[in-house]
Copies of this chain bind each other. A is one copy, B any other.
Amino acid sequence: MEAATDGRILRAGELEIRPEEFLALADGRPLNLTARELELLKALMERAGRIVSREELYVSVWGEPYRKSDRSVDVYVGKLRQKLEEAAPHHRFIHTHFGFGYRFSPQPAERSFTRLS
Protein backbone atom coordinates (compact mmCIF):
# COMPACT_ATOMS: atom_id res chain seq x y z
CA MET A 1 0.00 0.00 0.00
CA GLU A 2 2.90 2.34 0.62
CA ALA A 3 3.34 2.33 -3.08
CA ALA A 4 5.95 5.02 -3.39
CA THR A 5 8.71 3.30 -1.47
CA ASP A 6 7.41 -0.19 -0.99
CA GLY A 7 10.14 -2.70 -1.52
CA ARG A 8 12.79 -0.05 -1.81
CA ILE A 9 15.58 0.34 0.67
CA LEU A 10 15.02 3.29 2.97
CA ARG A 11 17.91 5.17 4.52
CA ALA A 12 18.18 8.03 6.97
CA GLY A 13 21.18 8.85 9.07
CA GLU A 14 22.46 5.62 10.59
CA LEU A 15 19.21 3.85 9.85
CA GLU A 16 18.42 1.49 7.03
CA ILE A 17 15.30 -0.50 6.24
CA ARG A 18 15.10 -3.31 3.72
CA PRO A 19 11.39 -3.94 3.48
CA GLU A 20 11.52 -7.08 1.37
CA GLU A 21 13.79 -8.71 3.94
CA PHE A 22 11.83 -7.48 6.93
CA LEU A 23 15.09 -6.07 8.15
CA ALA A 24 16.06 -2.85 9.86
CA LEU A 25 19.65 -1.89 10.59
CA ALA A 26 20.97 0.81 12.87
CA ASP A 27 24.68 1.48 12.62
CA GLY A 28 24.83 -1.80 10.73
CA ARG A 29 23.33 -3.74 13.63
CA PRO A 30 19.99 -5.44 13.09
CA LEU A 31 17.19 -4.02 15.21
CA ASN A 32 14.97 -6.80 16.35
CA LEU A 33 11.69 -5.29 15.30
CA THR A 34 8.28 -6.89 15.30
CA ALA A 35 5.96 -6.60 12.33
CA ARG A 36 4.09 -3.59 13.69
CA GLU A 37 7.21 -1.83 14.82
CA LEU A 38 8.76 -2.20 11.40
CA GLU A 39 5.66 -0.91 9.65
CA LEU A 40 5.48 2.09 11.91
CA LEU A 41 9.14 2.89 11.45
CA LYS A 42 8.68 2.64 7.70
CA ALA A 43 5.70 4.97 7.82
CA LEU A 44 7.70 7.49 9.81
CA MET A 45 10.75 7.31 7.58
CA GLU A 46 8.67 7.70 4.47
CA ARG A 47 7.49 10.98 5.94
CA ALA A 48 10.84 12.06 7.33
CA GLY A 49 11.17 15.70 8.28
CA ARG A 50 7.50 16.51 8.60
CA ILE A 51 5.18 16.30 11.54
CA VAL A 52 2.77 13.42 11.14
CA SER A 53 -0.47 13.12 13.04
CA ARG A 54 -1.35 10.00 14.97
CA GLU A 55 -4.30 9.57 12.69
CA GLU A 56 -2.17 9.49 9.57
CA LEU A 57 0.21 7.03 11.15
CA TYR A 58 -2.55 4.84 12.47
CA VAL A 59 -4.43 4.68 9.21
CA SER A 60 -1.24 3.99 7.31
CA VAL A 61 0.03 1.23 9.57
CA TRP A 62 -3.12 -0.32 11.01
CA GLY A 63 -5.23 0.21 7.94
CA GLU A 64 -8.30 1.08 9.97
CA PRO A 65 -10.09 4.23 10.99
CA TYR A 66 -8.50 6.01 13.92
CA ARG A 67 -10.23 6.45 17.26
CA LYS A 68 -9.06 9.47 19.19
CA SER A 69 -8.69 7.45 22.38
CA ASP A 70 -6.40 4.88 20.77
CA ARG A 71 -2.91 5.00 22.24
CA SER A 72 -1.38 2.31 20.07
CA VAL A 73 0.76 4.74 18.12
CA ASP A 74 2.21 6.16 21.33
CA VAL A 75 2.96 2.73 22.69
CA TYR A 76 4.71 1.63 19.53
CA VAL A 77 6.67 4.85 19.24
CA GLY A 78 7.88 4.08 22.74
CA LYS A 79 8.92 0.59 21.74
CA LEU A 80 10.74 1.90 18.69
CA ARG A 81 12.59 4.53 20.70
CA GLN A 82 13.69 1.88 23.14
CA LYS A 83 15.08 -0.42 20.48
CA LEU A 84 16.67 2.43 18.56
CA GLU A 85 18.36 3.68 21.69
CA GLU A 86 19.70 0.19 22.32
CA ALA A 87 21.14 -0.13 18.85
CA ALA A 88 22.26 3.44 18.30
CA PRO A 89 22.74 5.16 21.63
CA HIS A 90 22.71 8.91 21.88
CA HIS A 91 20.87 9.37 18.65
CA ARG A 92 17.43 10.86 18.35
CA PHE A 93 15.15 9.74 15.62
CA ILE A 94 11.54 10.25 16.64
CA HIS A 95 10.54 13.62 18.02
CA THR A 96 7.30 14.42 19.79
CA HIS A 97 5.32 17.48 18.75
CA PHE A 98 2.92 18.11 21.54
CA GLY A 99 -0.66 18.18 20.41
CA PHE A 100 0.21 17.34 16.81
CA GLY A 101 2.04 14.07 16.43
CA TYR A 102 5.52 12.80 15.70
CA ARG A 103 8.34 13.73 13.38
CA PHE A 104 11.09 11.46 12.16
CA SER A 105 14.42 13.16 11.78
CA PRO A 106 17.74 11.51 12.54
CA GLN A 107 20.00 13.61 14.69
CA PRO A 108 23.74 13.00 14.64
CA ALA A 109 24.34 12.71 18.34
CA GLU A 110 23.25 13.97 21.66
CA ARG A 111 25.12 16.78 23.32
CA SER A 112 25.05 16.38 27.02
CA PHE A 113 22.23 18.38 28.54
CA THR A 114 20.85 20.45 25.72
CA ARG A 115 17.20 21.29 25.92
CA LEU A 116 14.69 19.60 23.69
CA SER A 117 13.61 21.62 20.68
Chain A residues with CB under 8 Å of chain B are 18, 21-23, 29-30, 32, 34-35, 50-51, 86, 89, 97-101, 103, 105, 115-116
Are the CB atoms of B98 and A86 closer together than 8 Å?
A: no
The 8 closest A-B pairs by CB, nearest first: A21-B50, A22-B100, A22-B51, A21-B51, A35-B99, A23-B51, A23-B50, A22-B97
A32 to B100, CA, bound (A): 12
Copies in the complex: 2
Are the CB atoms of B51 and A98 closer together than 8 Å?
A: no
Are the CB atoms of A115 and B97 closer together than 8 Å?
A: no
Contacting residues, chain B, for A89 (C-beta < 8 A):
115
Contacting residues, chain B, for A100 (C-beta < 8 A):
22, 35
